[in-house]
């Protein structure tokens, strides 16, 4: 078989949303894919993922990977409004600072999106219970070999491929092998998080009061800014409220390979008491009635100057750990995967070096700016100092202050990479999919030609 005709093989380390997205994008590009994931089975309701927001481009990309694109809309809720509010904790009142009614995101539960992506992959794509150990590149640079340990048997397995994709998260051990001195940067605050399930009690006093105080719940991403703190909350599908509360504090000591802390009942009780001093009673009740809240330590890192080496590439949080204030982590992971797949498809296996260089030159300028903007946005909303401005007091916020709070200020938010320009045409084809069921192949062919022309 000629090199140009050979099918490439990628080994993806990490089976979270970034890894599954890469699997979809590379399979669509004609590559064989093996995903190595350390957990023993697919996630079914992982609390640490909680809620997330998908931007318009990420929605289109994900739909292009699904046999039934409408399934994404069926498992998410629209977020058409981005609203920032100031809260006076002493007087228990709040008021609007900014409102953007053209937001066009969609809200998803992490496990719902994960399940959608996983079920749409070919069987056996993901190998469960495989803990990454090491990798090595052949002397000629044409092959990469990955070693992993099977959790059940303890057996050491080796998988070879043309490309290693590091999708192993913000604590990436593969990134560490290239940047041993590069450390995560603590933001100065942690995030209490939780999801209140009110599906069995839709008319409870807590839910009715919250909807009265925040009438656009169900389509609005609410940011409430207090004194040196802020919270985020929005509704998810199936009668659930996702909330996040950011708290300034010294950096906690983490154990294990996770940024999620184990919390005690005492810690939760103190958090509940503190919430009463800061937020409106309607939001406090939601926080207090949420089962099993958890605590994330918020990190990012200084943007990297390189994310590809020979036949190794970083994607998602492995490439650009970010704070969550711009809703970028999942969206950047999806776009990383899509751009990587299209670059590999364009250049072919024999020219993967050129493909990876195009991936890097396309994504690095964007992700660098978005990481830094998210960092700045978080510090502003938390009332922390920045070199060029005093800490924000939301109660006395100026018009200029309010302008800085909006998600639409995110760099490159509305930009579509040129290599993904096909996504727009593909969406037109998706719109015609239901029509095609009633047309013969001759008529369908005419529609396809017209759309792509």
- Tell me, rounded to whole angstroms, the distance of Cα 243 from its chain centroid: 16
pLDDT at res. 5: 60
Confidence of residue 438 (pLDDT cuts 50, 70, 90): very low
Residue in the structure block whose two tokens are 């070693």: 147
State the average pLDDT for the chain: 91
In 3D, which of 187, 227, 188 has the Cα closest to residue 397?
227
In 3D, which of 421, 449, 447 has the Cα closest to residue 434?
447
pLDDT at res. 451: 36
Are 207 and 175 part of one and the same domain?
no
Alpha carbons 31 and 8: distance in angstroms, whole number: 5
Domain interval for residue 51: 3-76+111-183+301-418
pTM of the model: 0.90
Are 202 and 103 part of one and the same domain?
yes
Q: Of the residues 300, 326, 342, which one is the last residue of a structural domain?
A: 300
Alpha carbons 278 and 448: distance in angstroms, whole number: 56
In 3D, which of 256, 252, 265 has the Cα closest to residue 294?
265
Alpha carbons 191 and 246: distance in angstroms, whole number: 4
Are 173 and 320 part of one and the same domain?
yes
Average pLDDT over residues 139-165: 94
For residue 435, pLDDT beyond 70: no
Domain total of the chain: 3
Instruction: Kindly report which listed range (29-33, 258-262, 270-274) carries the lowest average pLDDT score.
Output: 258-262
pLDDT at res. 424: 52
Alpha carbons 159 and 177: distance in angstroms, whole number: 19
Are 60 and 33 part of one and the same domain?
yes
Are 203 and 267 part of one and the same domain?
yes
Q: Of the residues 246, 273, 300, which one is the last residue of a structural domain?
A: 300
Confidence of residue 432 (pLDDT cuts 50, 70, 90): very low
Are 256 and 323 part of one and the same domain?
no
Instruction: CATH number of the domain at 203, please.
Output: 3.30.9.60
For residue 431, pLDDT beyond 80: no
* Token pair in block for residue 338: 């899509």
Are 413 and 431 part of one and the same domain?
no
What's the burial of 330, exposed, middle or buried (CB within 10 Å: 0-12/13-18/19+)?
A: buried
For residue 430, pLDDT beyond 80: no
Instruction: CATH number of the domain at 130, please.
Output: 3.50.50.60
For residue 446, pLDDT beyond 50: no
Are 425 and 414 part of one and the same domain?
no
For residue 95, pLDDT beyond 90: yes
Are 219 and 320 part of one and the same domain?
no
pLDDT at res. 140: 87
For residue 6, pLDDT beyond 70: yes
For residue 445, pLDDT beyond 80: no
Q: What is the pLDDT of residues 343-397, one digit of tens each?
A: 999 999 999 999 999 999 999 999 999 999 999 999 999 999 999 999 999 999 9
pLDDT at res. 44: 65
Q: Of the residues 261, 279, 300, which one is the last residue of a structural domain?
A: 300
| Top-confidence residue, 426 or 127 | 127
For residue 19, pLDDT beyond 90: yes
pLDDT at res. 425: 52
Are 40 and 119 part of one and the same domain?
yes
Are 173 and 128 part of one and the same domain?
yes
**Residue 167, number of CB atoms within 10 A of its CB:** 31
For residue 94, pLDDT beyond 70: yes
Share of the chain above pLDDT 90, in %: 85
pLDDT at res. 42: 85
Average pLDDT over residues 219-243: 97
Are 343 and 427 part of one and the same domain?
no
Phi and psi at residue 67, to the nearest 5°: -65, -30
Average pLDDT over residues 170-195: 96
Q: What is the pLDDT of residues 275-309, one digit of tens each?
A: 999 999 999 999 999 999 999 999 999 999 999 99
């Amino acid at each position: 078989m000629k090199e140009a005709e050979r099918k490439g093989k990628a080994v993806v380390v990490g089976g979270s949303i970034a890894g599954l997205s890469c699997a979809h994008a590379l399979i669509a590009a004609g590559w064989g894919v093996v995903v190595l994931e350390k957990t023993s089975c697919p996630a079914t309701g992982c609390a640490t993922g909680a809620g997330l927001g998908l931007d318009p481009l990420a929605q289109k990309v994900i739909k292009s990977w699904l046999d039934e694109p409408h399934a994404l809309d069926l498992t998410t809720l629209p977020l058409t409004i981005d609203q920032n509010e100031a809260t006076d904790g002493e007087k228990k009142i709040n008021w609007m600072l900014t409102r953007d009614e053209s937001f066009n995101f969609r809200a998803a539960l992490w496990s719902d999106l994960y399940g959608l992506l996983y079920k749409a992959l070919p069987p056996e794509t993901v190998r469960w219970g495989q803990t990454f150990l090491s990798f090595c590149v052949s002397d000629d640079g044409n092959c990469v070999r990955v070693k992993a340990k099977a959790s059940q048997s303890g057996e050491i397995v080796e998988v070879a491929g043309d490309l290693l994709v590091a999708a192993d998260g913000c604590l990436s051990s593969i990134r560490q092998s290239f940047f041993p001195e590069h450390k995560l940067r603590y933001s100065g605050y942690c995030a209490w998080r939780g999801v209140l399930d009110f599906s069995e009690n839709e008319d409870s006093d807590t839910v009715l009061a919250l909807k009265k105080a925040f009438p656009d719940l169900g389509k609005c991403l609410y940011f409430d800014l207090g004194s040196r703190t802020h919270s985020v909350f929005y509704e998810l599908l199936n009668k659930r409220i996702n909330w996040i509360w950011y708290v300034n504090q010294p950096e906690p000591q983490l154990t294990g390979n996770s940024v999620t802390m184990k919390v005690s009942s005492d810690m939760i009780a103190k958090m509940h008491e503190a919430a009463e001093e800061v937020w409106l009673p309607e939001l406090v009740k939601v926080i207090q009635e949420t089962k099993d809240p958890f605590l994330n330590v918020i990190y990012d890192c200084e943007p990297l100057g390189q994310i590809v080496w020979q036949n190794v590439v970083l994607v998602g949080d492995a490439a650009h750990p970010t704070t969550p204030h711009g809703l970028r982590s999942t969206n950047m992971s999806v776009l990383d995967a899509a751009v990587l797949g299209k670059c590999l498809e364009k250049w072919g296996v024999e020219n993967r070096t050129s493909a990876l260089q195009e991936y890097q030159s396309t994504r690095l300028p964007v992700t660098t700016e978005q990481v830094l903007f998210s960092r700045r946005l978080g510090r502003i909303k938390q009332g922390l100092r920045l070199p060029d401005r005093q800490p924000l007091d939301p109660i006395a916020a100026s018009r200029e202050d309010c302008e800085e709070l909006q998600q639409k200020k995110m760099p490159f938010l509305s930009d579509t990479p040129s290599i993904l320009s096909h996504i727009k045409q593909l969406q037109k084809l998706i719109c015609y999919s239901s029509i095609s069921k009633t047309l013969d192949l001759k008529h369908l062919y005419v529609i396809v030609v017209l759309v792509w022309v």
